């Protein structure tokens, strides 16, 4: 739900403050790292050290992280939620009351089904996710979603599902569908790390 924030500030906060700002582009999502909701890494500098992830992937408690196989797919941002319209609104213009969640839909291709079976168990967890792109950079939150604190946080995940095997038959590839939702405004505190040489090579222990 959109909150009105009354009383209004004295003036609107500045947005674009540079004539030619550095562009921001994440690129193609190729892997995910899941961990239990609320986990964090103290700083992005620490997250860019390979041994940090070795520790998380080999952990045996609540801090354990799970890295997926390679994935193909995309995030579709949620559309505005509207109230009214037509004769229920002045001039027929609806009121925007919030945003729908964003959704990732994609596939894990040509993977052994014992790996898929293990990943399916994540659906019973309350998770956050970090995204990894083709350059080994992380997409993360620098502030906990709807919370306080700074560091490297994951994006809240809800409704995770990993489907059964879909055969590729003669001219396709065997694959399993993966889908999950991220809450409205998830990207407000998101950042992109520097590229790494190790993120796409991470495996579970």
Q: E strands within 48-133? A: 65-67, 72-76, 80-83, 95-99, 102-109, 127-133
Give the C-alpha separation, 128 to 89, whole Å. 39
Instruction: Provide the domain limits for residue 148.
Output: 29-79+91-201
Residue 16 lies in a domain: no
Residue 10 lies in a domain: no
Residue 8 lies in a domain: no
Mean pLDDT score of the chain: 95
Residue 63 lies in a domain: yes
Q: Is the pLDDT of residue 196 over 90?
A: yes
pLDDT score at 7: 82
pLDDT score at 2: 67
Q: What percent of the chain has pLDDT over 90?
A: 86
DSSP code string of 138-204: EEEEEE-TTS--EEEEPEEEEEEEEEEEE--TTTS--EEEEEEEE-TTGGGGEEEPPP-SSGGG---
Residue 163 lies in a domain: yes
Residue 52 lies in a domain: yes
At residue 3 the predicted structure's pLDDT band, cuts being 50, 70 and 90, is: low
Residue 23 lies in a domain: no
Residue 22 lies in a domain: no
Q: Is the pLDDT of residue 122 over 80?
A: yes
Counting the structural domains of the chain, the total is 1
Q: Is the pLDDT of residue 1 over 70?
A: no
| pLDDT tens sequence across 53-85 | 999 999 999 999 999 999 999 999 999 999 999
- Using DSSP, state whether 44 is helix, strand or coil: helix
| pLDDT tens sequence across 7-40 | 888 988 888 888 888 889 999 999 999 999 999 9
User: Whole-model pTM?
Assistant: 0.92
pLDDT score at 4: 63
Residues 131-148 have a mean pLDDT of: 95
Q: Is the pLDDT of residue 45 over 90?
A: yes
């Amino acid at each position: 739900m959109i909150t009105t924030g009354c009383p209004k500030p004295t003036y609107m906060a500045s947005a674009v403050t540079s004539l030619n700002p550095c562009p921001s582009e994440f690129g193609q999502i190729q892997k995910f790292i899941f961990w239990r909701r609320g986990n964090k890494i103290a700083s992005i500098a620490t997250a860019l050290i390979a041994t940090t992830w070795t520790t998380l992937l080999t952990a045996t408690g609540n801090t354990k992280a799970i890295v997926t196989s390679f994935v193909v797919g995309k995030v579709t941002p949620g559309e505005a939620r509207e109230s009214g319209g037509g004769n229920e609104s002045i001039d027929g213009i609806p009121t925007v009351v919030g945003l729908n969640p964003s959704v990732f839909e994609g596939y894990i291709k040509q993977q052994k089904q014992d790996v898929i079976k293990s990943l399916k168990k994540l659906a019973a967890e309350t998770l956050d996710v970090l995204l990894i792109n083709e350059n080994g950079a992380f997409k993360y939150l620098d502030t906990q979603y709807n919370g306080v604190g700074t560091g490297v946080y994951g994006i809240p995940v809800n409704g995770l599902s990993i489907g059964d095997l879909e055969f590729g038959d003669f001219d396709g590839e065997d694959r399993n569908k993966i889908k999950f939702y991220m809450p409205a405004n998830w990207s407000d505190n998101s950042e992109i790390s520097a590229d790494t040489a190790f993120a796409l090579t991470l495996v579970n222990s």
